[in-house]
Amino acid sequence: FRLSSLIGHISTCPSLIGQCCQRHPGSVDEFQEELVIRPLHSGDIYASFQFRTLWDTDFLQEGQKVSHYRLFPKSLGQVLSKFSVRELHISFTQGFWRTMQWGQPFIPSPPGAELWVWFHDTVSDVDGNWKELTNVLSGIFCASLNFIDLTNTVQPSASFKPLGLGNATDHRFLRYATLPREIVCTENLTPWKKLLPCGSKAGLAVLLKSEKLFHSSFHSQAVHIRPVCQDEQCTSKAWELRQTLNVVFDLYTAGQGKKEWSLFKMFSRTLTEACPLATSSKVYVDITDNPELFELSPATPLLSQAVVLGDRRTYSVYDLSRAETFGQLRSLNLLLRWKGDGEMLRPLLHAERYVAGFGLQTGEIHTVIYNNHPYRAFPVLLMDSVPWYLQLYIHTLTVTSKSRDNKPSYIHYQPAKDRHRPHLLEMLIQLPPHSMTEVTVQFERALLKWTEYTPDPNHGFYVGSSVVSALVPSMVAMNTNFTQDQPLFSSFVPVKEESSYFVRVYTEPLLVNLPTPDFSMPYNVICLTCTVVAVGYGSFYNLLTRTFQVDEPSLPLAKRLANLIRRIRGVPLLT
């Protein structure tokens, strides 16, 4: 398998992007909203919101000054044009997506904050733009993105390709950074909601109440901006802003033992109307496992089939733009009643990571990638960005599958520079069918300068998730036909061929303890050091450098006086 073909798959073909958006002739901007509810095998429930705004302009063209914003948020539009951003992906996640229980998410994201940006190739000072951009975004999203600097920014060579128009491959214009420690809360949700055309006043966004969203097992919100084609021929460009919010509710803790769910229980609101600005506003409920797993009411006659992530799923569709959806009560409150219990899934691709060893000097990072496909081998791209204070011994890098050495066909390694840039390791690994592949690399923990420690150094230091990107062989034929009106959740990463689909899996971040001095006793340390230096060193130095001479014992005073008299008298002196 060649790298170029994989990269080719990840980056998209312009014509496909254009086809996926059905345009109403004559309209300038367009807004779509969508909610997918998928009951998970573990008994949890997964709700995924997607809001898409299309902006019919190309403000990166020379000499064009854009001042009119209709649906597209002005704050983001200005940022895009000022920093010549070609593509921007930002996600804030609280929690870890449990692939083994929940399967694959529609749009994956690592714990904490993740930001990756493709700049336009006219930008001369990419690092400068990146620095300024992160500071601006930090203000827009009320997040600590300003902590992104050169020490945690990398330029992946193959793992992150543009998802929108154009096939840029020069990774000098790409910047990728994660903040695994970032905590996501309501202050990040509010600015995110403000970017929506209807705010949280109408449409699906009324469900986004923070007290419920943050009472869950997993919460992730993201913003994806990319250029797409306006029509099938791709004659002109449009900007697409996709805002996604994924949340997983826990049946055990929030359900109080009852296996029953409703929109009201999940979000403490029901739906009463669509966003008036939206061209489409739909709720999808995954009923593929119906009727064994759960019971859904009110029933809907509208069904839709979609092939998502290598699986053919059936959805009940509730179209909010139609009055009959809301029934006589003028509100839609979906109700799900569980019947059975599910078991652990076997997702085709799954990865995890941990630190092995003990002690504070060395350690070993283990990344384990599972290919659970019964008979197909497929390649994956593994990307690891490790902070400089874990000094990787790259010669200890081993990749083993089925207890045999598995030589990666492509390795891109950029060593770290102390206090300047992190390690970047990218590898293309072929995963044999039904196998476990283990990537290990040893590291040494650096001793930081005393001002470089965080305020809670004994908590440990975070290492961001590693990223596994792959084209996974699909069990069913993937849908490559984009002429029909597709739901948003299945159209984010376009599919190029029927036999495989693109998946990105993030491992858990690591918490590594570094050797930490006892900060609570700097005074004692200073005192002790000073004492040792003053008393010990001083006197030893004195002893070692002094020359000793035997001194003639001086005569007592009486004898000296006697000698004086004797000298005068001229008799022999006393000794």
218: contact with another protein by CB under 8 A: yes
Name every residue whose Cβ is closer than 8 Å to that of residue 26 and which is 6 or more positions away in sequence: none
Give the nearest distance from C-beta 499 to another protein in angstroms. Answer: 30
Q: With CB under 8 A as the rule, give the number of residues binding another protein.
A: 52
539: contact with another protein by CB under 8 A: yes
Strand ranges (DSSP E) for 387-499?
390-401, 404-405, 410-414, 423-431, 435-445, 461-463, 467-473
For residues 5 and 458, which CB has a smaller minimum distance to another protein in the complex? Answer: 458
For residues 542 and 554, which CB has a smaller minimum distance to another protein in the complex? Answer: 542
Q: Could you say which of 25, 26, 211, 358 contacts another protein (CB under 8 A)?
A: 358
For residues 241 and 349, which CB has a smaller minimum distance to another protein in the complex? Answer: 349
x-marked contacts with another protein along 550-569 as a string, rule CB under 8 A: x-------------------
225: contact with another protein by CB under 8 A: no
Segment interacting with another protein (CB under 8 A) among 149-157, 213-221, 283-291, 473-481? 213-221
Q: Could you say which of 394, 457, 498, 555 contacts another protein (CB under 8 A)?
A: 457
Give the nearest distance from C-beta 112 to another protein in angstroms. Answer: 7
The string of DSSP letters for 39-89 reads E-TTS-EEEEEEEEEEE---TTSTT------SSS-HHHHHHHHHTTEEEEE
DSSP-derived secondary structure letter, 421: B
Identify the CA nearest to 356 among candidates 430, 442, 272: 442
Give the nearest distance from C-beta 53 to another protein in angstroms. Answer: 28
Q: At what angle do helices 126-141 and 74-82 cross, to 10 degrees?
A: 170
Question: Exposed, middle or buried, 556 (CB in 10 Å: 0-12/13-18/19+)?
Answer: exposed
For residues 60 and 436, which CB has a smaller minimum distance to another protein in the complex? Answer: 436
Beta pairing class for 30-39 and 45-55: antiparallel
x-marked contacts with another protein along 336-355 as a string, rule CB under 8 A: ----------------x-xx
509 and 110 in contact (C-beta within 8 Å)? yes
Q: Can you tell me the distance from the alpha carbon of 573 to that of 559, in angstroms, rounded to the nearest whole number?
A: 9
DSSP-derived secondary structure letter, 533: I
Q: At 524, give phi and psi (nearest 5°).
A: -60, -45
Q: Can you tell me the distance from the alpha carbon of 51 to that of 240, in angstroms, rounded to the nearest whole number?
A: 10
Applying the rule CB under 8 A, the residues between 359 and 418 that interact with another protein are 359-360, 364, 366
Task: Find the length of the chain.
Answer: 575
Tokens of 112: 């904490």
Q: Could you say which of 68, 328, 375, 543 contacts another protein (CB under 8 A)?
A: 543
Q: Could you say which of 12, 99, 178, 216 contacts another protein (CB under 8 A)?
A: 216
Applying the rule CB under 8 A, the residues between 146 and 205 that interact with another protein are 180
Give the nearest distance from C-beta 403 to another protein in angstroms. Answer: 11
Give the nearest distance from C-beta 110 to another protein in angstroms. Answer: 8
545: contact with another protein by CB under 8 A: no
Tokens of 287: 């009923």
For residues 101 and 490, which CB has a smaller minimum distance to another protein in the complex? Answer: 101
Name every residue whose Cβ is closer than 8 Å to that of residue 557 and which is 6 or more positions away in sequence: none
For residues 97 and 118, which CB has a smaller minimum distance to another protein in the complex? Answer: 97
For residues 286 and 508, which CB has a smaller minimum distance to another protein in the complex? Answer: 508
369 and 351 in contact (C-beta within 8 Å)? yes
Give the nearest distance from C-beta 336 to another protein in angstroms. Answer: 19
For residues 1 and 537, which CB has a smaller minimum distance to another protein in the complex? Answer: 537
Q: Could you say which of 329, 356, 526, 564 contacts another protein (CB under 8 A)?
A: 356
Peptide bond into 298 cis (omega under 30): yes
Applying the rule CB under 8 A, the residues between 257 and 296 that interact with another protein are 257
For residues 335 and 355, which CB has a smaller minimum distance to another protein in the complex? Answer: 355
Q: Can you tell me the distance from the alpha carbon of 37 to that of 196, in angstroms, rounded to the nearest whole number?
A: 20
Q: Can you tell me the distance from the alpha carbon of 48 to that of 32, in angstroms, rounded to the nearest whole number?
A: 14
Applying the rule CB under 8 A, the residues between 3 and 62 that interact with another protein are none
Tokens of 332: 């839609």
- Judged by the rule CB under 8 A, the positions of this chain that interact with another protein are 94-96, 98, 100-101, 111-112, 180, 214-219, 250, 252-254, 257, 352, 354-360, 364, 366, 456-460, 462, 508-513, 516, 518, 520, 539-540, 542-543, 546, 548, 550
